[in-house]
Amino acid sequence: MASPNIPLCRPTIDEHELTAVAEVLKSGWLTHGPKTTEFEQLFADYLGVKQAIAMNSCTSALFLALVANNIRGDVLVPSFTFVASANAIVTAGAKPVFVDIHYHDCNVDAAALESSLTPETEAIMIVHYGGQLCEMDAIAAFAETHHLLLIEDSAETIGGLYDGKKSGSWGIGCFSFFPTKNITTGEGGMLTTSDAAFANRVRMLIGHGIDKTTLQREQDARPWFRAATTAGYNFRMSNILAAIGVEQMRKLDWMNQARRDHSAYLRDNLSDIDEIDLPVENARARHVYQMFTLKVKNGRRDALVADLVNQGIGASVHFDPPVHLHPAYAAYQTCDLPITEQVARQIVTLPMFPQLTRPQLDSIIDAIRGFFTHG
């Protein structure tokens, strides 16, 4: 039998993105420009926030969420995340304090935040894992009670809901447009906020500390006049990538629904396998399944991944090791994280993207069933 050759992910790109990029190239305006502004407005309107600021990565958004708020103390953050979350904290001059997660949804345990609080804690950086928001009522209340900045690492959760409120609208939202995410621009990120003063600081910082963009200066009498008011960075998003983002936003809802439909089919057809735990959708949340993950309970996780890959099914693991077990972060571990380490040993990521076909889903199901029946 031929290998099914199912990748872990595949961006949903069609003639709309191709046409949009061609139009930008023909316009001659390739750097931060009109399409960037349009993308930002579409994104802000979608989330119901006042400001969305496009930039080169989610990591830059996380970094500036801290830097623009002068956070230099402790930041509570899960260890079960991609290392970029912790990297942003350290490079901003702050200190990560790792907290444990829930087993069922791999998200931050709100109760663990309380036990990890220190006199130096200034912020919480939660990570919405795989497409599902954390328990935001409890986390937002905790942040307010202790006067902590709330940052949402929403890289994996564009369009996800908790109590009807979208990811990135509870605190400072930070989003990724890497090709594995629910929408993509190839590389890129977005920061969201309803704080105008903070947004202005971020906009200045992403453009070398200059308080007007090239597009804005074109309207001035002296468009060449560029005076930095602070030392900044070059974290801008180009007009080319933003043009892709505009087209991706137009189909985000149906792409998310396709992910939900595929995930429901996988869950329905794998639910009777005792050796695995399937993802759980919290009653107050709407999961958008940037990843479909399962947990292997019998110590055979690595063997399952190898077997799927050998059959042409692009399975992977997110995330093992957790950040506190990376050599660069060993010194930052201050408490035991038993659930984090358990999940890291068990987690498997299956292929998930809108264009998956029913035969491909059936191939994934058959391969997993075959492994536990005959493996």
**pLDDT above 70: residue 273:** yes
81 near 156, Cβ under 8 Å? no
Rounded mean pLDDT, 178-191: 98
The tally of domains found in the chain comes to: 2
Q: Can you give the pLDDT at residue 221?
A: 58
Q: Can you give the pLDDT at residue 215?
A: 62
- Beta-bridge partner residues of 6: 313
**d(C-alpha 100, C-alpha 213), whole Å:** 41
Range of the domain at 327: 253-374
**Residue from 35, 95, 166, 181 carrying the catalytic annotation:** 181
Average pLDDT, the chain: 95
Q: Is 362 helix (H, G, I), strand (E, B) or coil?
A: helix
Report the percentage of the chain scoring pLDDT > 70: 95
- Residue 270 sits in the same domain as residue 236: no
pTM of the model: 0.95
Q: Can you give the pLDDT at residue 223?
A: 67
Q: Where are the beta strands (DSSP E) in the chain?
A: 51-55, 74-78, 95-99, 121-127, 149-153, 161-162, 165-166, 172-176, 189-193, 276-277, 285-286, 292-296, 347-350
**d(C-alpha 203, C-alpha 158), whole Å:** 22
111 near 76, Cβ under 8 Å? no
| pLDDT grade for 233, boundaries at 50, 70 and 90 | very high
205 near 66, Cβ under 8 Å? no
Q: Can you give the pLDDT at residue 218?
A: 62
Phi-psi region of 320 (alpha: psi -120 to 50; beta: other; left: phi over 0): beta
The residue out of 209, 235, 251 marking a domain boundary is 251
Rounded mean pLDDT, 11-25: 98
- Residue 173 sits in the same domain as residue 31: yes
**pLDDT above 70: residue 216:** no
Q: Can you give the pLDDT at residue 99?
A: 97
Q: Can you give the pLDDT at residue 352?
A: 98
- Residue 198 sits in the same domain as residue 185: yes
Q: Can you give the pLDDT at residue 226?
A: 72
Enclosing H/E stretch for 63:
helix 58-67
**Residue 26 annotated among the catalytic residues of the structure:** no
| pLDDT grade for 2, boundaries at 50, 70 and 90 | low
Considering only residues 226 and 78, tell me which one the structure prediction assigns the higher pLDDT.
78
Task: Kindly list the strands in the beta sheet with 95-99, ordered across the sheet, starting from the edge strand earlier in the chain.
Answer: 51-55, 189-193, 172-176, 149-153, 121-127, 74-78, 95-99
The residue out of 225, 251, 277 marking a domain boundary is 251
CATH code at position 45: 3.40.640.10
Report the range of poorest mean pLDDT among 175-189, 225-239, 320-334, 361-375. 225-239
For residue 110, give both structure tokens.
């709100």
83-93 pLDDT, tens digit each: 999 999 999 99
On whether residue 9 sits in a domain, the answer given is no
**pLDDT above 60: residue 236:** yes
On whether residue 192 sits in a domain, the answer given is yes
The residue out of 251, 282, 304 marking a domain boundary is 251
Q: What is the DSSP string of 166-199?
A: ETTSSSEEEEE--TTSSS--SS-EEEEES-HHHH
